[in-house]
Homo-oligomer: A and B are copies of this chain.
Amino acid sequence: METEATPEHLGTADEAGLGGHVRSAVGLLYRRFRSERPEGTLGDTALDVLTWLHKQGPRTLTQLSEDAHVAPASMSQSVNRLTSAGYAIRTPDPNDRRKVLISTTPEGADLAIATRARRNTWLDGQLHALSPEDQHAIARACALLSTIAGS
Q: Interface of chain A, helix or strand or loop or mixed?
A: helix
Interface size bracket, A side: 35 or more
Q: Quick one: which of B2, B24, B124 contacts A121, CB cutoff 8 A?
A: B2
Task: Known A2-B118, A118-B2, A148-B126; judge A141-B143 contact (CB<8 A).
Answer: no
Contact B146–A20 (Cβ < 8 Å): no
Contact A151–B126 (Cβ < 8 Å): yes
Q: Mark A1-21, 1 if CB is under 8 A from B, else 0.
A: 010011100100011111111
29 CB < 8 A contacts A-B: A5-B121, A5-B125, A6-B117, A6-B121, A7-B120, A7-B124, A14-B139, A16-B116, A18-B127, A19-B120, A20-B119, A20-B120, A21-B142, A23-B33, A25-B145, A25-B149, A27-B30, A27-B33, A28-B68, A28-B146, A29-B148, A29-B149, A30-B30, A32-B69, A32-B148, A123-B148, A130-B144, A138-B140, A138-B145
